[in-house]
């Protein structure tokens, strides 16, 4: 007999959507609507109706829909039916060819103003879409979809639960919507109203006010990855909670003393979130989980670390395992690791006191192959050959190599290496590998972008015993770049984003909005390159021409990886060392980074503590 309190298999719960049902999203072509659409598709949904009275108006909307239809084979219908009209709402619900599995009501209209300045028309415009829309969706799903509907989710606002000056109409409309959800739950039907604070990255706050740092109604914008994680959490909770909230309080980031604003420590802020009055009573060895941090508190701390410290954590579990000691180190540290996305976790990270510690010999290597570790008596394999990541050098692999019981060589991207294709780069590296070790069996490894080249080497070079992939695969970089590219309507914005990512390797705390805007507004790619080089030259002092060359190589490698498709299946044993703290795109690429589709030989996946950088360090 199955005992729910003692499951046979322990697993991380995840919301999943049926490919055989239809999911309706009102306001589906808005910023949040498109992100939610992609999230539903990534979680299994294949049939969606996006309600929008204006239809597709921008290239980004078309590109996002096309991407989901092409790569996920999703069927997405754009409907201009007005849900505030009973007949049109009934038509929307009744004429679905597949049973309806979920309603997500995001549509909203803002007409802010003090109550005495509001007209009846301005009041009704806001109330109509929220209240009448929800009322009609409730009415007709009861008639046509009562047995198949799994989710009935409406997006409310904390302006309803806590009030906000000038939004009486908006607060009232959301409150009426929540009462419908409460009644549905009393009737035994699914219903959930989420009171959001300000939403970051996309949507009305960013479009109208333009910044993730804007304080709206006492809250800071909640970043989109956090919003989607929160929805996942809410959809799995008890069905008898009709109204929930998610927001990031702005006042927890600072406190006022007299007429001046003074910063408070990270530990004090976290103590405030935990409800602990005296931060000094928290033991340094205690984790946040030990101190009673729940999932919603994790969202607040995640946002705090992103906003104030430019630190990103993948999920609430990683946040809950942070110790007070580690948080104190973050707070007191004056430097951060130079990485594309700065991340932290339980693994102790090595700090660099100055980014200028990078030298030209690393960034523009002259040696195609370098000895990273030498062992006189090795194991059954003669050598291990490690392929560089996208930076082109192997210095970040030196510490790992020196801990291995085998001679290790690293291959680097020098001026002579072809820049035409992954296949050509692999063929060039094979010549050097065979020159160093004339006969097999060969042991080949690759880190990140280098894993892509390592896969191709495994296809071209016979007698490979094992292929070792360090947090990478044939499609690892391509998955990131393709999904990132869909966020931009024009090439100039994509080019600006690539150069911003390049700069972040060396200067993590850039003003993202300003740099992206400045880069995109320049007349050509060459002008953008020069602008980025001038910024970076102030930090690493290796010359503008050298920086431009490094940036071009970085961009070219991204393009080559995006185009690469293996021509055959890998015959040898493959081991993927995947990080525990993954990026936001990891759910799309899969737990094995897509390797199961190209591996003919055995495939093993080992999960290593840390993130994309730190898993190479320490005892790992």
pLDDT tens string 145-158: 989 999 999 999 88
Q: What is the pLDDT of residue 219?
A: 66
Rounded distance between C-alpha atoms, residue 270 and residue 293, angstroms = 10
Residue labelled with tokens 């730190």: 614
Q: Helix axis angle, 525-540 relative to 544-563, nearest 10°?
A: 120
Rounded distance between C-alpha atoms, residue 511 and residue 500, angstroms = 10
Provide the Cα torsion 337, 342, 343, 349; round to 10°.
0
Reported confidence tier of residue 267, pLDDT bands at 50, 70, 90: confident
High-pLDDT (> 90) share of the chain, %: 32
Rounded distance between C-alpha atoms, residue 101 and residue 562, angstroms = 35
Among 76-80, 170-174, 298-302, 597-601, which stretch is predicted with the lowest mean pLDDT? Answer: 298-302
Provide the Cα torsion 411, 414, 418, 422; round to 10°.
40
Reported confidence tier of residue 233, pLDDT bands at 50, 70, 90: confident
Q: What is the pLDDT of residue 245?
A: 85
Residue 229 reports pLDDT greater than 90:
no
**What are 98's two structure tokens?**
């597949």
Reported confidence tier of residue 554, pLDDT bands at 50, 70, 90: confident
> Three-state DSSP class for 584?
coil
Over residues 375-434, the pLDDT tens digits come to 765 555 678 999 999 889 998 899 899 888 889 999 999 989 998 999 999 999 999 999
Residue labelled with tokens 């840390």: 610
Rounded distance between C-alpha atoms, residue 51 and residue 57, angstroms = 13
Q: What is the pLDDT of residue 338?
A: 30
Q: Contact at 8 Å (CB) between 459 and 567?
A: yes
Over residues 412-426, the pLDDT tens digits come to 999 899 989 999 999
Residue labelled with tokens 């070079």: 461
Q: Contact at 8 Å (CB) between 356 and 349?
A: no
Reported confidence tier of residue 206, pLDDT bands at 50, 70, 90: low
Rounded distance between C-alpha atoms, residue 368 and residue 417, angstroms = 8
With b for 16 or more beta-carbon neighbours within 10 A and e for fewer, the 76-105 pattern comes to bebbebbbbeeeebbebbeebeebbbbbbb
Measured between its terminal Cα atoms, the distance across the chain in Å is 41
Which pTM was predicted? 0.46
Q: What is the pLDDT of residue 255?
A: 42
Sheet strand arrangement including 75-79? 75-79, 47-51, 22-26, 100-105, 151-157, 192-196, 243-246
Rounded distance between C-alpha atoms, residue 79 and residue 88, angstroms = 10
The H or E element containing residue 459 is: helix 449-460
Q: What is the pLDDT of residue 210?
A: 52
Q: What is the CA radius of gyration of the chain?
A: 26
Over residues 341-354, the pLDDT tens digits come to 333 333 333 333 33
Strand partners, 599: 570
**What are 134's two structure tokens?**
């929800």
Rounded distance between C-alpha atoms, residue 476 and residue 583, angstroms = 11
Residue 43 reports pLDDT greater than 70:
yes
Average per-residue pLDDT in the chain?
80
Q: How many CB atoms lie within 10 A of CB 421?
A: 13
Rounded distance between C-alpha atoms, residue 86 and residue 57, angstroms = 26
Rounded distance between C-alpha atoms, residue 278 and residue 438, angstroms = 66
Rounded distance between C-alpha atoms, residue 353 and residue 375, angstroms = 32
User: Phi/psi at 463 (nearest 5 deg)?
Assistant: 65, 35
Q: What is the pLDDT of residue 492?
A: 81
Reported confidence tier of residue 181, pLDDT bands at 50, 70, 90: very high
Domains of the chain: 22-196 (3.40.50.720), 254-332 (1.10.1200.10), 360-476+567-616 (3.40.50.1820), 478-563 (1.10.1470.20)
Q: Contact at 8 Å (CB) between 262 and 278?
A: no
Which DSSP string do the residues of 548-581 spell out, in sequence order?
Answer: HHHHHHHHHHHHHHHH---SS-B-SEEEEEEESS
């Amino acid at each position: 007999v199955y005992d729910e309190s003692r499951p046979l298999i322990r697993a991380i719960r995840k919301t999943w959507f049926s490919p055989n049902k239809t999911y309706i999203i009102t306001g589906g072509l808005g910023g949040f609507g498109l992100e939610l659409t992609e999230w539903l598709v990534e979680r299994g949904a294949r049939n969606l109706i996006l309600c929008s009275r204006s239809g597709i108006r921008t290239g980004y909307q078309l590109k996002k829909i096309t991407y989901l239809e092409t790569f996920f084979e999703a069927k997405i219908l754009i409907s201009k039916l007005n849900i505030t009209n009973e007949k049109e709402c009934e038509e929307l619900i009744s004429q679905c060819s597949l049973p309806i599995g979920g309603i997500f009501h995001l549509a909203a209209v803002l007409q802010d103003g003090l109550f005495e300045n509001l007209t009846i028309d301005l009041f009704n415009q806001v109330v109509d879409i929220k209240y009448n829309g929800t009322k009609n969706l409730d009415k007709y799903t009861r008639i046509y979809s009562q047995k198949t509907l799994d989710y009935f989710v409406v997006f409310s606002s904390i302006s309803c639960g806590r009030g906000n000056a000038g939004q009486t109409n908006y607060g009232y409309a959301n409150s009426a919507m929540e009462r419908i959800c409460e009644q549905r739950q009393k009737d035994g039907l699914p219903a959930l109203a989420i009171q959001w604070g300000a939403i970051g990255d996309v949507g009305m706050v960013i479009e109208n006010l333009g910044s993730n740092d804007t304080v709206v109604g006492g809250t800071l914008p909640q970043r989109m990855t956090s919003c989607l994680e929160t929805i996942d959490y809410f959809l799995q909770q008890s069905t008898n909670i009709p109204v929930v909230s998610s927001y990031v309080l702005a006042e927890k980031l600072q406190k006022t003393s007299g007429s001046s604003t003074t910063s408070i420590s990270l530990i004090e802020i976290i103590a405030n979130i935990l409800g602990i009055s005296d931060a000094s009573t928290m033991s340094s060895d205690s984790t946040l989980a030990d101190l009673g941090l729940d999932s919603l508190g994790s969202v607040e701390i995640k946002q705090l670390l992103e906003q104030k410290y430019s630190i990103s954590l993948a999920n609430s579990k990683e946040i809950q395992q942070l110790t007070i000691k580690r948080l104190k180190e973050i707070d007191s540290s004056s430097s951060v690791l130079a990485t594309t996305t700065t991340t932290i976790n339980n693994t102790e990270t090595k700090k660099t006191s100055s980014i200028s510690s990078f030298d030209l010999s690393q960034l523009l290597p002259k040696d195609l192959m370098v000895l990273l570790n030498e062992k006189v008596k090795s194991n059954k394999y003669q050598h291990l050959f490690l392929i560089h990541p996208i930076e082109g050098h192997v210095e970040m692999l030196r510490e790992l190599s020196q801990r291995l019981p085998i001679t290790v060589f690293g291959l680097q991207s020098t001026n002579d290496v072809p820049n035409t294709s992954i296949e050509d780069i692999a063929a060039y590296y094979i010549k050097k590998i065979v020159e160093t070790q004339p006969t097999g069996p060969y042991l080949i490894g690759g880190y990140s972008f280098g894993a892509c080249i390592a896969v191709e080497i495994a296809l071209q070079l016979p007698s490979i015993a094992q292929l070792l992939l360090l947090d990478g695969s044939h499609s690892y970089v391509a998955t990131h770049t393709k999904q990132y590219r869909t966020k931009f309507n024009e090439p100039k914005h994509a080019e600006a984003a690539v150069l911003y990512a390049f700069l972040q390797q060396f200067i993590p705390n850039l003003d993202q909005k300003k740099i992206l805007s400045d880069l995109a507004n320049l007349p050509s790619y060459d002008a953008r390159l020069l602008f980025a080089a001038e910024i970076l030259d102030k930090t690493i002092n290796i010359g503008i021409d050298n920086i431009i060359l490094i940036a071009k190589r970085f961009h070219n490698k991204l393009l080559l990886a995006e185009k690469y498709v293996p021509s055959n299946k890998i015959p040898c044993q493959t081991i993927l060392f995947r990080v525990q703290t993954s990026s936001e795109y990891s759910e799309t690429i899969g737990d094995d980074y897509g390797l199961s589709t190209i591996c003919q030989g055995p495939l093993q996946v080992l999960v290593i503590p840390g993130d994309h950088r730190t898993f190479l360090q320490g005892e790992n």
